[in-house]
Structures are given as C-alpha cells and as structure tokens.
Structure 1
C-alpha cells in the first residue's frame, strides 16, 4: 500500500461510524497493557529502586507524581490539538475526543498536586507553598474544571464545542509556563530529573521505573478515553441510521446472552 493510499485508509477513521468499532477493539488491549505496566512500574519503583541518599524513602512518590504531572500537561495539549482540528476542519469527532480527554487530564492533574503535597511536607516542611510551578499546575486543574463545566452547561452541542475549544486553546499557554517555571523563576520545586538535552540525574533503576509508569499512564489514558468516547459518539449520532443499527444489534446480543443465562 502506497503512502497516499495508507493516508486515505487512516482518514476514514475520522468518521464517527468507523472510529466507534475501532475504539471498542483497541480499548481492552490498552487496558491490559496499563495493568501490566503499572504492576511492573510500581514493583521497580517501590521494591527494586534504591533508597535516595538525600530524601530517603519519601522520594518514591515520584513514581506516581512525575508521570501524573507529565500526563496532565500532555493531555491538555492533545485537547488543544483536537480543538484546533475541530475548529479548522469542522470535524465532529475532534470535539468529542477533546471532551473525552478532559476528565482523565483533570484526574492526573489532581493526582500530581496531591502527591506533590505528600512529597512537599517532609521535603519543604509544608504541604503547599505558592511556588510558581505549583500555582501554575493548580491553574491547569481549574482550566480542566472550567472546560468540563462549560461544555456540559451549554445545551447546544455546536456552541459547547466551540466554547470548549477556545478554553482549550487559550489555556494551552499555561503548559509551557508549568514546564519552564523552575527555569524562569526562583522556585522551591526542583528542576527536571529527565531532559532531552542532558543525561538523567538519577539511577538507571529509578529512571526505568518512572518511564514504565509513564507508559502505564499513557496506556490507561488511551483505554479510558476510547471507552468514554464510544457513548459520547452514540449520543451525538443518535439520529443516524448506523447508530440505530448498532443499538439494535446490541439489544439482540443482550437478549441472546440473557436467554443463555
């Protein structure tokens, strides 16, 4: 298959009726991957990685905190990307994907703040300080909440899509502020332990555990979003023939399963 043909083949999944069954097939695989990767990552982080010479055992919270912080920022950027695609190309699925991502991004953002507080108490002597990174991360959580509340408060789906897209695009400016805050301002938060431009400042076992947990977070996000987007697609497309046929097929399967039981 040539590249143009492959591209056209992939573009067909931009249609909700084609993406719906694909999401159902892929979600269980990503969910299983998330379970395995999480088990491996937690084992490496909490049982294999050595004790930190400076922070002791408390540093192990990074195996949850850092991947959660990474995902909270990455998911928001992906939301902004899908919002931009939806505004430019007027694709219904793009807006649905953006809205399906938001609750998972908010969850990771909350976990990052919560685990950061647990880390901060023994390290800084306080659960919370108005540090540049912590404050900008808290703002990200409010942006997630604002996006979710606005898109659900507006009854007209088209208006809700566009209003949410504006929040996602404007709020994306906050993501680089979070990332570079430790460089731009004098903050208590330590700098990045992992960088693309220099060698990591942690033991190989620690780095491996953190990266495995990051992959687990990716797999979890993909599984949950694919499962979440399916009922959203059915709701949006409920007046179409393919949704009627899909619901009829599901009802027959349910009756068959009930009869066997």
Structure 2
C-alpha cells in the first residue's frame, strides 16, 4: 500500500503539478515513470545477480529461488523503461529508437533477463537450471556500469544524469522531489512483488513437504 501511495503521489505531482521544462515542454514528464523504471531495472538485476552468486558459491537454494523470483519482475520493469524511453525519444529526437549506447545496453539488459528466465525454464533439473541461469546473471553484471556510465564514456543523444548522490542535482527541486518519491515507490513495489514471488517459489519447490500441505489445508487450498 505504501508503494502504491508513493507512486500515486509522485506521479500526480510530477505529471500534473511540476512546472513545464523550458526546453522540452511537457514532453519531459515521462521521466517520472521512465527514470524510476530504468533505475530499478538495474537495481533489480544487481539483486538477481547477487542472489545467483550466493546460490552458486554457497549452494544456498533459497538464493536461487530469490534470483528466479526477481527475473520476471526485472524483465517487466526493463520493458517499461524501454517503452517510456521510446515515448520520450520520439518528440525529443524525432525517432522512436536510435542505437545509442545507453539504449542499446538497456535492451541488452532485457535480453539478459529473458535469457535467465529461459534457462530456469529449460532444464527439468532445477539445480542445473539455477547454475546455468546464475552464471548468465553474474556475467551480465558487466552491462550495468555500461548503462550507468555510457553517457560519459561515449558520445550520446541521451542526456546526462541529473540526479547526483555526491554532488548537487541539476534538476529543480519542484521536479526532483516527485521523481525521488516515484523512485522510492517503484523500489518498494518491486520489493513487495519480489517477496510475493519468492514465497510462491518456496511453496512450489517444497510442494511435497508436509508443512506445505498443512499450510495449504489451513488456507483452504486443495
């Protein structure tokens, strides 16, 4: 509920009440969805890769289940980032898509998520599936700094980051605050959905255990 409330507040504030940008006009307002989605697509991937690493190194099954739970969520949020980015790019650049370094790296991120999902589903042996998917997730981490710093490393149409942790943000506060609220809301939403999916993964992987059957009966599930 908190996530929904924050996203509602941030979106209404940003879309309806934030001032018009002097260069981009009202077209910039898509950032109140695009930026949270893009930032959370990377955060979710790091969470998935970290879980996969723990599962591979320490052989903790629940870490593999967590990685499997995160992958579809990350894929959806990455797709939203790409879709809103294209919607933003059309009026700004005159085209829905350019093979810009950051856009291309974000597309690669989507393919990495889909690859992890496919590997989890391709093997009947779930241990082997987790190992293969985990290796891909860990190798794919190299794409995260490319997304983050591509604007600084290469010539890019994509604008530089306006939110800085160590320095002063270049965005006016009346635009910055609703954006930060939405980023927090998206983070909480992804965390909540991940917990729900993780619970489902745990129950599915332990469906024959007595405690799962007892829980199912208590909830009226046959």
Q: Structure 1-normalised TM-score?
A: 0.83
Which of the numbers 53, 62, 80 marks the counterpart of 2:22? Answer: 53
Which of the numbers 66, 70, 88 marks the counterpart of 1:119? Answer: 88
Q: Distance in 1 between matches of 2:35 and 2:4?
A: 18
Which of the numbers 127, 146, 157 marks the counterpart of 1:177? Answer: 146
| Residue number in structure 2 paired with 1:68 | 37
Deviation of the 1:225 alpha carbon = 1.2
Alignment partner of 1:95 is 2:76:
no
Q: Distance in 1 between matches of 2:59 and 2:214?
A: 26
Alignment partner of 1:243 is 2:218:
no
Instruction: Note the residue ranges of structure 2 that are not aligned, 5 or more in a row.
Output: none
The structure whose Rg is larger is: 1
Q: Distance in 2 between matches of 1:238 and 1:121?
A: 48
CA RMSD of aligned residues (A): 1.2
Q: Distance in 1 between matches of 2:144 and 2:10?
A: 26
CA contact (8 A) 1:44 1:205 kept: no
Q: Distance in 2 between matches of 1:187 and 1:106?
A: 24
| Residue number in structure 2 paired with 1:130 | 99
Q: Distance in 1 between matches of 2:14 and 2:96?
A: 23
Instruction: Note the residue ranges of structure 1 that are not aligned, 5 or more in a row.
Output: 1-31, 256-261
Q: Distance in 1 between matches of 2:140 and 2:25?
A: 37
Q: What whole-Å deviation, never above 9, does each CA across 1:216-259 have from its counterpart, x for those lacking one?
A: 101111121111122211111122222122122222xx69xxxx
1:1-261 equivalences under 5 Å are 32-251=1-220
Q: Structure 2-normalised TM-score?
A: 0.97
Q: Distance in 2 between matches of 1:45 and 1:213?
A: 9
Q: Distance in 2 between matches of 1:57 and 1:247?
A: 51
What secondary structure is seen at the aligned counterpart in 1 of 2:46? helix
Q: Distance in 2 between matches of 1:244 and 1:197?
A: 51
CA contact (8 A) 1:65 1:116 kept: yes
